Amino acid sequence: MKTFIEQELLAAAKEVSATSENTITMKQLFEYRKNERKKRRQDIYRNVSSYRQEVNNILNGKEPQD
């Protein structure tokens, strides 16, 4: 006869193994974070580029675009 704690641990282990198909691996998490950093970096570059263009337009006497 198993103790209550052993039964609970066994039930928890079965539950974890049943749901493990829906969990992500560390590699997937790493890839997700890497892609998110890449997107943020691209957004920053895009913003800097548009600000640089706007500054150049102002310096060259063109009207700023909204």
pLDDT digit string (tens) for 4-31? 777 777 777 776 665 555 566 778 878 8
**In-domain check, residue 13:** no
**In-domain check, residue 65:** yes
| Mean pLDDT of all residues in 46-62 | 89
Here the tokens at position 26 are 């560390």
**In-domain check, residue 54:** yes
Q: Are 10 and 2 in contact (CB under 8 A)?
A: yes
| Mean pLDDT of all residues in 27-41 | 88
Here the tokens at position 27 are 């590699």
Domain count, the chain: 1
| Mean pLDDT of all residues in 39-54 | 91
**In-domain check, residue 30:** yes
**In-domain check, residue 50:** yes
**In-domain check, residue 58:** yes
**In-domain check, residue 36:** yes
Here the tokens at position 22 are 């829906």
Domain range enclosing 47: 24-66
The answer, yes or no, to whether residue 42 has pLDDT greater than 90, is yes
Q: Phi, psi (5° rounding) for residue 62?
A: -85, 155
The answer, yes or no, to whether residue 65 has pLDDT greater than 70, is no
The pTM (predicted TM-score) of the whole model is: 0.47
In sequence order, the 6+-apart residues with CB closer than 8 A to the CB of 58 are 64
